[in-house]
Amino acid sequence: HRLIYRNYIRNIMLRKLIKNEMPRPTQAEIKAFIQEFPDQKPSGKLEIAHILLAVPTGATAQEEQEILGKAKEIALQARAGERFETLVAKFSQHESSKKLGGRLPAFSQGTLFKEFDPVFDLPAGSITDPIRTPSGYHIIKVLRKNSIEELVVNHKRKQILNDWIKKLREKAHITIRQRKSAI
């Protein structure tokens, strides 16, 4: 529990310290990272949240167009800043992921719907137009990509946090006083 708590506190501190999004790493930074940490390899997996608007079997062309129109409206709301989790709770028809804010387990390219494969090219935070699968229309938000770029960005974030903690420790003056024992 101690490790979980420490990681939780580090994440909070990191969010406070780095208010703006980290810039994408340059090719030179990526090359330097690979040389310094050759054993660090990205899994290539993607974490997404989605909203599913199901298209019933045997739906007419008009019914499908209405569902697509609604999906497009939801995508616009998401891009306009509406919380994705709120939209999931309101509209998604995928019950098992609805309880999780639309989150799906991380997956590799080619393992879910083939229609999701182009999403692997999008940066984290992107929201797609509706994507048609056999289930219906999905609006996808890319939450996290496990790529070499992400590994470099996370490394840079940790360095910034560690430098900040080091500076705080250098400035800190701590006095430890012992109580006199009654025995």
Residue 51 to residue 49: CA distance in whole angstroms: 7
> pLDDT tens for residues 136-152?
999 999 988 887 887 88
pLDDT at position 53, please? 96
pLDDT at position 15, please? 64
The whole-number average pLDDT for the span 8-31 is: 71
The whole-number average pLDDT for the span 80-100 is: 92
How distant is the alpha carbon of residue 179 from its chain centre? 48
Claim: this prediction has a pTM higher than 0.75: no
Residue 73 to residue 4: CA distance in whole angstroms: 39
End-to-end CA distance of the chain: 34
Element containing residue 30 per DSSP (H, E): helix 27-36
